[in-house]
Structure 1
Amino acid sequence: MTTSTSAYLAHFRVWRGDEDGGGLEDFKVEVNEGEVVLDIVHRLQATQAPDLAVRWNCKAGKCGSCSAEINGRPRLMCMTRMSVFGRDETITITPLRAFPVVRDLVTDVSFNYAKAREVPSFVPPQGLGPGDYRMQQEDVGRSQEFRKCIECFLCQDTCHVVRDHEENKGAFAGPRFLMRVAELDMHPLDAAAEAGIDRKRTAQDDHGLGYCNITKCCTEVCPEGIKITDNALIPLKERAVDRKYDPLVWLGNKILRRKP
């Protein structure tokens, strides 16, 4: 195979290790025109580090598998072009910092699946069968953006509430799953209230909405360009506060709590 005349050697520092510890190792790897970081990782596996553990699947930015931190920023390796780095720049690849390391660049993201199970699913309206649902496009558009999520968990990784405070993880669902709550709460056909589920209350009490201080770091790293903070978290906060401090709701709660 003929090497392109535009090829060059790049300096990579890749974290190697497991749950017991590890460190950064230096490599010089060939880079060709048009390649992405995942291409270089595959070449590194093929030529110098055959035991390097890395998770990937589609290589098209749609499966969310190849999440890592590149020069400290959470990114998808398959969507990070080598052309964004200078040829003399050292490129550091490390595993997602918010989650336990399995080996090398692979982390245990089971925290996220546990949080997903805690969010009550869509509740269909009683008396409506499949195919009978009718919604206005305006209503669909409100939450359709959130359906683009590929669950790469970059937003979860960069959220400092999850990333820097291990003690918060039990009480905080993270931006990905608060966005899921917001999506369901915006759904015009979700009959959760009729089933006794108050999504605004559960967002606050069960999923830790109050921990979020809307720094927008989750939005900044989303590879799908979802405006997580502006379109999901802030509106959800507004609705939760309106619900909690509505004077009629407050009065009703006082009356219901009153003992005979």
Structure 2
Amino acid sequence: MTYKAKFKVWRGDDKDGGLHDFTVEVNDGEVVLDVVHRLQATQAPDLAVRWNCKAGKCGSCSAEINGMPRLMCMTRMSVFTEDETVTITPLRTFPVIRDLVTDVSFNYEKARQVPVFEPPADLKPGDYRMSQVDVERSQEFRKCIECYLCQNVCHVVRDHEENKKSFSGPRFLMRIAELSMHPLDTRDRRKEAQEEHGLGFCNITKCCTEVCPEHIKITDNALIPMKERVADRKYDPLVWLGSKIARRK
């Protein structure tokens, strides 16, 4: 089945831009990215759009479709009615480079600020051992394709530019939580999460979980457990007393 669909696509750069109207042919079984490629081939050859795998595994084609942050390659045209206008805009949280391409370098800066896995100094790489239950605890987080939809939708950075300096966002707080769950990691990730990466800014609205294309339960399985560990460390009197005794020893 073939039909003509109405599209509104944001065109412009960081200085000026707006929505442009297009009518594009849609074939049965296609996704939004297919239609965007047809639009490039037939009407707007200079349309800038970022994509790579077209299989929902690279996270490159992130955009906002009818106001919802999604992957264009995983959004089927069949979810829209034939008379519905499909609006495609760039990720709102990050600066626009051109058209649908945004500058997501903020995320790479935050990634570099997360200290790497740090095993005990006297433990040789060949001696690393983990129980299966420890592997399974953090395996979910390794499914992340770094589409940055969770970063885009998090209102702490989306609505407050001033927070970007002190808040790493759900993707990298999830990375810290993953490292803290490793039984051989020796760093105090709780202190880092709270004092250096802004864990306290998160108010667990679960918007990051709602847009994750890999269905990672970011809030329930990473952010809330990390918040609980931070609270135990800071406010639990027994934990506080234990830390004082250990330090004196």
Q: Does 1:21 align with 2:11?
A: no
Q: Hey, what does 1:63 align to over in structure 2?
A: 58
Partner Cα distance (1:40, 1:132) in 2: 52
Q: Hey, what does 1:74 align to over in structure 2?
A: 69
Amino acid at match of 2:189: R
1:23-62 → structure 2 map (5 Å cutoff): 23-62=18-57
Q: Does 1:100 align with 2:90?
A: no
Partner Cα distance (2:231, 2:169) in 1: 19
Amino acid at match of 1:12: F
Question: What secondary structure is seen at the aligned counterpart in 2 of 1:119?
Answer: coil
Amino acid at match of 1:85: F
Aligned residues: CA RMSD: 1.5
Q: Hey, what does 1:118 align to over in structure 2?
A: 113
Q: Does 1:171 align with 2:161?
A: no
Question: What secondary structure is seen at the aligned counterpart in 2 of 1:116?
Answer: helix
Amino acid at match of 1:15: W
Partner Cα distance (1:234, 1:113) in 2: 24
Partner Cα distance (2:150, 2:75) in 1: 16
1:80-159 → structure 2 map (5 Å cutoff): 80-159=75-154
Q: Hey, what does 1:212 align to over in structure 2?
A: 202
Q: Hey, what does 1:237 align to over in structure 2?
A: 227
- List per-residue Cα deviations over 1:29-51 (Å, max 9, x = no partner): 00000100000000000000000
Amino acid at match of 2:174: M
Q: Hey, what does 1:11 align to over in structure 2?
A: 6
Q: Hey, what does 2:237 align to over in structure 1?
A: 247
1:249: how far off? 5.3
Question: What secondary structure is seen at the aligned counterpart in 2 of 1:92?
Answer: strand
Amino acid at match of 1:207: H
- List per-residue Cα deviations over 1:224-260 (Å, max 9, x = no partner): 01000000000000000001113255458899xxxxx
1:125: how far off? 2.4
Partner Cα distance (1:15, 1:189) in 2: 48
1:126: how far off? 2.4
Partner Cα distance (1:82, 1:161) in 2: 31
Amino acid at match of 2:133: E
- Percent sequence identity is 80
Partner Cα distance (2:70, 2:242) in 1: 47
Partner Cα distance (2:42, 2:244) in 1: 70
Partner Cα distance (2:87, 2:123) in 1: 53
1:131: how far off? 3.3
Partner Cα distance (1:254, 1:121) in 2: 27
Question: What secondary structure is seen at the aligned counterpart in 1 of 2:230?
Answer: helix
Partner Cα distance (1:140, 1:83) in 2: 38
Partner Cα distance (1:250, 1:140) in 2: 29
Partner Cα distance (1:252, 1:143) in 2: 27
Partner Cα distance (1:203, 1:72) in 2: 31
TM-score normalised according to structure 2 size: 0.95
Query: How many pairs are equivalent?
Result: 245
Partner Cα distance (1:124, 1:52) in 2: 47
Q: Hey, what does 1:195 align to over in structure 2?
A: none
- List per-residue Cα deviations over 1:116-165 (Å, max 9, x = no partner): 11111100222333332111111110001000000000000000111111
Amino acid at match of 1:222: C
Taking a change above 3 Å as real, the CA distance of residues 26 and 160 of structure 1, as seen in their structure-2 partners, is same
Question: What secondary structure is seen at the aligned counterpart in 2 of 1:190?
Answer: coil
Q: Hey, what does 1:203 align to over in structure 2?
A: 193
